[in-house]
Amino acid sequence: MSEQKIPLAGVIGSPIGHSKSPQIHRHWLSTMGLKGHYIPMNVAPDDLKTVLHTLPKAGFVGVNITIPHKVSVLEIADLVTDRATLIGAANTLIFRKDGKIHADNTDGYGFVKNLESVSGGWDPAAGPAALFGAGGAARAVIAAMLDAGVPEILISNRTRVRAEALRSDFGKRLRVFDWVQAGNMLDYAATVVNSTSLGMIGQPPLRVPLDGLQKGAVVTDLVYAPLKTKLLEVAEEAGCRTVDGLGMLLHQAVPGFERWFGTRPKVDSATRAAALR
């Protein structure tokens, strides 16, 4: 009688100790009574290809990918989804039965699902979105917002050239503002997103003037340490609807978990509590 293999998954990065993914996936495995394990793996860039080709032989069905491997993993994968290609990064790998590595990016999906959880819901067509930052996370956010039907994205980054590069990649629905003018974007914005690390514990504050925030606008910060950043605090006081960054992390984990372990998990208050342990 052949032994039934227990599915294994995990997260690969370097460093990896800070990742909350193991807490989230283990919570789901345990509460749903599923067989399976999810482990963090610190893998150096030079070893990534070897490790990814070895893991399926050890019973792994897939992995999450985090910094610094999200871009380089596209070169290793056999199949890459359109959205991962557009974003230029992957965060979820599926090891297929035919031996092929399938790469996807669920960050944009997680971002939109998180926004939809705001009180009163999120209407992408309500007006332009203002976006601070032009890094990897910004690419996922832009792709997802354009796809959801946001009419225009106003973007500002400390280094303007990076924002200009995004405009040339994503097209005319992006309008670039100088960093010194970033606060002006808020006058028009129905959605406001901080995709920079500014305001995070141990990082400099987000010094953009926030007096232009529109009452009723949906404001989110991808930073989730602290859970309530200065941006969210000020937005709440201005009568905006706010949603913290932790939800994006929880929702982006759902598609991978479902593919690996065969059951779709729910993002609820118990999931949030597990991530914050």
Give pLDDT tens digits for 38-85: 999 999 999 999 999 999 999 999 999 999 999 999 999 999 999 999
Q: Is 155 in a helix, a strand, or coil?
A: strand
> Which pLDDT score, from 0 to 100, does residue 5 have?
86
- Mean pLDDT over 84-101 rounds to 96
> Which pLDDT score, from 0 to 100, does residue 94 have?
98
pLDDT at 3 over 70: no
Q: Which two tokens stand for residue 45?
A: 């860039």
Q: Is 215 in a helix, a strand, or coil?
A: coil
Distance from CA of residue 176 to its chain's centroid?
22
Q: Give the range among 1-10, 222-231, 245-254 with minimum mean pLDDT.
A: 1-10
Read off the pLDDT band of 24 (50, 70, 90): very high
Q: What is the pTM of this model?
A: 0.95
The C-alpha torsion from 103 through 144 and 140 to 240, rounded to 10°, is: -140
Q: Which residues does the annotation mark as catalytic?
A: 70
pLDDT, tens digit, 9 for 90 and up, residues 153-189: 999 999 999 999 999 999 999 999 999 999 999 999 9
Q: Tell me the C-alpha distance between 151 and 272, whole Å.
A: 31
pLDDT at 255 over 70: yes
Query: Cis peptide leading into 15, omega within 30 of 0?
Result: yes
Mean pLDDT taken over the chain: 96
Q: Tell me the C-alpha distance between 102 and 78, whole Å.
A: 6
Query: Cα–Cα–Cα angle for 254, 258, 264, nearest 5°?
Result: 75
Q: Tell me the C-alpha distance between 127 and 144, whole Å.
A: 15
pLDDT at 2 over 70: no
Residue in the block written with tokens 């482990």 = 39
DSSP state of 148: H
> Which pLDDT score, from 0 to 100, does residue 1 have?
44
pLDDT at 227 over 50: yes
Q: Is 128 in a helix, a strand, or coil?
A: coil
Output the CA torsion sign for 179, 112, 11, 74: negative
- The pLDDT > 90 percentage for the chain reads 97
pLDDT at 4 over 80: no
Q: Which two tokens stand for residue 27?
A: 């919570």
Burial group, residue 4, by CB count within 10 angstroms (0-12, 13-18, 19+): exposed
Q: Which H or E element spans position 159?
A: none
